Structure 1
Amino acid sequence: MAKINFGDYLKSKQRKVRNYESDEALVQRAKLKLSVDPMVVSPAYRVKNLEAAEALLSDVKGYPGAETLYDSCKKQLSEAKVQKKEADYQRACRHLAEAKEEHEFGKAAGEFANLQGYRDADEKQDYARKRAKALNRRFQITRAVVLLVIVALVVLMARSYKGGYMNYMAARLEGIGGQYQSAYSRFSQLGNLLDSREQAEKYRQLYLRKREAAERKALPEAKKGDTVSYAGQDWLVLRRSHKKLLMICRAPSADSVFRSVQFHNVRKDVSWADSSLRAFLNGGALQGEFTELEQAALVDMAYTPSGNDFYGVSAPSEPLTDKVRIFDLEDLKTYSDVFEKPAVDMWLAAPGHDLSSAVYQSKSGTVMMYGDDVTDMNLSVCPVITVDLKALESQDKQQ
C-alpha cells in the first residue's frame, strides 16, 4: 500500500471519500481506467470509465504529469461520448425494427428520445410513439370488452351467491383465464369451502410450472446488467460466465421472506459462517422459495467472507460452500460497475465493530462499517445465487 502523508490525508477528507488515498494512488487508478481497450468494452462502459478517470484527475492536477493525463482524458471522453451516441442510435434502430408489441415500440421511442437531434432520431421517435399509441388503443378496446363481460358475470353471480361463493367463482374465472398465481392466492383464502384446497394446489402447481417455463426461455438470453425473474423475484445479473449466471436479488418484494430478517437469532459473538441467517438461506428459504427444478439449477459457490479491516475484526479463514449467500465487503468492490446500491438496507457477510454486530449497506448506498446488532429485525437480505443454464436446458428436455 502506498504511504499517505498528512497533506494527502487532508485532501482526501476534503473530497469526502471513504478511503484516504495519496495523489500517486489516485493517478495510478486513473491510468488504469484510461488504459482500458475501447475495442473490448462497450461504449457506455468506456464513457463511465473515462468520467471516473476525469473525476480522479481533476482533484490532483498539481501532481506531475496529471495535467497532461487530464487533457488526454477529456479528449478521449469527448470521442467516447460520440461513439456511445452512435451505438445507442444503432441499438434503438434495431429495437424499432424488431418491435411488435406496444411496450417494445415504447422502449424504442424512449431510446430515440434520449438521442434528440441526432441524425433522424426525432422522426423515428415520432413513428415509434404513434405505433405504440395505436397498439395501446387496440388493447384498451379489447380490455374494455373483457371487463364488461367479467362485470356482467360478477353481477350475475352476486345475485346467486354470497360471500365466499362469489370469491370461489371469481377464482375459477381467474384460473380459466390463465391467471394461475391470482387463482391460487384466492383459493388459498377460502379454506375448506367446496374443493378450494384442491383447486389451490392445482393452480399453485400450474403457476410454478408456468414460472419455470418462463425462466428457461428468458435466462439463456440474459447478460451482465440485465434484470431477470427467478423463483418469483427479480434478480440483477452480476456476471455471465459461459453457461452460468451470478445474480443478486437487490430488491426483494415486500412480502418476501428476505425482508426484515436477523443476522443471528441470539445476541452473541457470531461469524457469518455460524449465523442463523446463513442457515436460513440455505435451509428454509431455499426449500420454500425455490421449486425443485429451480434448486437443481443452483450451483454451489465456494467463497471466503471478508473481515472488517477498519475495526480490525477478522473473519474465519476457512472457505465456505453455499447455494445461497450474500455480499461481503470485497463483493461490493468487485461488482461496483454493475451493482450500485440495494433497494433495502441489506446485511453484509462481514463483522462490524465486534463479532456481535455485522456490517450493512443502506439503500442510499452507504456502507456502515460500525455495523448493527446481529439481532436487529429492521434490515433485510439480498441473496446471491449462481444459476447453471445447462441445468435449466436439461430440465426443459426432461419435461
Structure 2
Amino acid sequence: MEEIKIGSSLSFGSYNWRVLDIQNNAALIITEYMIEQHPYNNYAGDVTWADCSLRKYLNGEFYNKFTAAEQSRIIPVINKNLDNQWYGSRGGEDTLDYIFLLSIEEVVCKYFGDSSKNLENRSAKQRYWFQKKDQNNDKRRSTFDGYVWWWWLRSPGRDNRRAVYIHGDGNIGIQGNGTFRYSSNTIHPSTGDNCGGVRPVFWLNLEL
C-alpha cells in the first residue's frame, strides 16, 4: 500500500480524497472536488452548524452511504464552532461529528496555506472578502462536475442567516451566503442549481 502523507490522494468509499493532516494514525481527509450541491439549511432563519440541515445530512444519509466496514474507520470528533471574527455572529455549540465541513479557521490558517493575517487584521477594504490577491486563493479553488464553483464552510457569516464559503476564485466570502437562499444568480452549468458545493471532511483511522 502506498504511503499516506499530507497532500497525498486516496480512494475511500466511492470518492477520491486529499489528505490534509495526519495525527495518531488517523488522517484528516477532504473530497478532492465538490461531490454534491446542497443548501446549508432547508429553512429560512437563524441557524448554526449544530442545527443545520447539511450537518444532519452528512452525519445521516451521507454517512450511511459507506459500508459498515468503512464506517468503522470514520472517527467521531468534537468540533469547536467559533463566532465569526469580523461580525460576531454565533458559531453555536461544539458538535460531535463523524463527517463535517471545514471551518474558516481551518481553511485560512492550517490546511490551505497560512492567510491568518487577513483573518486577524481586517483592512478597511475587507468588508466582505479576503484580498483578491491573497497568495493562497489558488489552493482553495475547487470544481463541481468539472466546473469552477463555490463551496460551503461550517462557520457563520455576518449573521446567522448566512454561512462562510469559498468563492470560485478561491477567495473567502467571510460575510457568507444565505443558508437557505443564495446571493448569487449564477447557475451551475450542468445542474441548473445555484446552491453551494459540498466537500465532506472526516478523520480516517489508518490502522484498520
Task: Sort the TM-score into its range (normalised by shorter chain).
Answer: 0.7 to 0.9
Give the CA deviation at 1:292. Answer: 1.3
User: 2:179 is matched by which residue type in structure 1?
Assistant: V
Aligned position for 1:378: 195
For 1:78-109, what per-residue CA distance to the aligned partner results, in whole angstroms no more than 9, with x for missing partners? xxxxxxxxxxxxxxxxxxxxxxxxxxxxxxxx
2:19 alignment partner, SS class: strand
Give the CA deviation at 1:337. Answer: 3.2
CA contact (8 A) 1:360 1:368 kept: yes
Give the CA deviation at 1:299. Answer: 0.4
Aligned position for 1:249: 31
Q: 2:60 aligns with which of 283, 286, 302?
A: 283
Aligned position for 1:296: 72
Give the CA deviation at 1:310. Answer: 1.0
Aligned position for 1:331: 106
Give the CA deviation at 1:323. Answer: 0.8
CA contact (8 A) 1:237 1:248 kept: yes
Q: Which has the larger radius of gyration?
A: 1
1:286 alignment partner, SS class: helix
1:322 and 2:139 equivalent?
Answer: no
1:366 and 2:171 equivalent?
Answer: yes
> How many percent identity over aligned positions?
28
- Give the alignment's Cα RMSD to 1 decimal: 1.8
- Aligned equivalents of 2:4, 2:169: Cα separation in 1: 27
Q: 2:50 aligns with which of 273, 276, 279?
A: 273
Give the CA deviation at 1:368. Answer: 0.4
2:33 alignment partner, SS class: coil
Distance 1:342 1:325, change over 3 A: farther
User: 2:163 is matched by which residue type in structure 1?
Assistant: A
Q: 1:307 aligns with which of 80, 83, 86?
A: 83
TM-score, normalised to structure 1's length? 0.40
- Aligned equivalents of 2:113, 2:157: Cα separation in 1: 25
Give the CA deviation at 1:301. Answer: 1.3
- Aligned equivalents of 1:386, 1:324: Cα separation in 2: 8
Give the CA deviation at 1:373. Answer: 1.0
1:348 and 2:153 equivalent?
Answer: yes
Give the CA deviation at 1:319. Answer: 2.1
More strand per residue: 2
CA contact (8 A) 2:50 2:94 kept: no
More helix per residue: 1
- Aligned equivalents of 1:274, 1:378: Cα separation in 2: 19
User: 2:156 is matched by which residue type in structure 1?
Assistant: P
1:282 alignment partner, SS class: helix
1:370 alignment partner, SS class: strand
- Aligned equivalents of 2:168, 2:27: Cα separation in 1: 24
CA contact (8 A) 1:250 1:342 kept: no
- Which structure's relative contact order is higher, taking Cα pairs within 8 Å and 6+ residues apart? 2
Aligned position for 1:207: none
CA contact (8 A) 2:83 2:156 kept: yes
CA contact (8 A) 1:306 1:329 kept: no
User: 1:341 is matched by which residue type in structure 2?
Assistant: R
Structure 1 residues 96-115: aligned runs within 5 Å: none
1:347 alignment partner, SS class: strand
**Gap runs ≥5 in structure 1:** 1-216, 393-399
User: 1:272 is matched by which residue type in structure 2?
Assistant: W
CA contact (8 A) 1:251 1:342 kept: no
**Gap runs ≥5 in structure 2:** 115-135, 144-149, 183-193
Aligned position for 2:133: none
- Aligned equivalents of 2:67, 2:168: Cα separation in 1: 29
Aligned position for 2:130: none
Give the CA deviation at 1:263. Answer: 0.1
